[in-house]
Amino acid sequence: MATRRTSLVTGSDQGIGLAIARRLAKQGSNLVLTGFGVPADEAAICKQVEADFGVDVIFHAADLSKADQIGGLVAAALDRFGGVDILVNNAAAPRRPVSVAQMDIEEWDLAVAINLNAPFHLVQAFLPLMLERRWGRIVNIASVFGLVGTANRAGYVTTKHGMVGFTHAVAAETMHSGVTCNAVCPGLTMTPRQEREIALIARTEDVSLADAEQILARRLVAEKFLSADSMAAAVGYFCSEEAGDTTGVALPVDGGQSAVR
């Protein structure tokens, strides 16, 4: 690249988001990261990525459920880098298995705020500059449950389906502009969230962590956890120069789960 790009990856201090951020840094992009971790840990992540890839990295602790804090994140990216060329909407609301009848209204509202409203606000903020530059990449991290349904996850399933629809709508509006919009739909991926669930199974069923992982894996169609690096590779392609003719795609990276449900 003649000019270094800048990428904003939400929810990027761990798991899939951090893997994506590191992939884009490897491809030569400066970074804006977000998350809710301990400030010292967030600073260490930024320094490590800068040292590993020679790019500039900033961190912003925006609460993406609040529009004013999203505005602060946008302002920080504009102030430091003059805009964003690549936007990856990865952050997702906390969730728990619960039926529609028993779901708290606050839990539903939070899922809509983070999983749908925040991507809308960020696309609306940065898309005009992408269109002006005639280059931009928007990638929404949806889910296999943005393509198929499952029980006791109404907020997650609904908002991830909405994210896929939003991807199609933005792609239709930006066709032939130099800006693309795609979605990656991960299956169950080994992240800190899943590690905590494995630890809980190990404690409650009095088994080893390895056995607990197998117990959880057997619930999956693919019978294994997927790698965050697999999701990052898909995002890396969508954000490349070579992917300029690829837009409006909702790509399952799910070990075949969506193919057999």
Residue from 68, 55, 2, 65 nearest 26 by CA = 55
DSSP string, 71-111: HHHHHHHHHHHSS-SEEEE--------B-TTT--HHHHHHH
Residue identified by tokens 């790019």 is 55
For 242, which DSSP code?
A: G
The number of beta carbons lying within 10 Å of the beta carbon of residue 231 is 27
Catalytic residues: 156
Kindly give, in sequence order, each residue whose CB lies less than 8 Å from that of residue 208, ignoring residues fewer than 6 positions away: 202
Contacts of 113 (CB under 8 A, 6+ apart): 64, 65, 66, 93
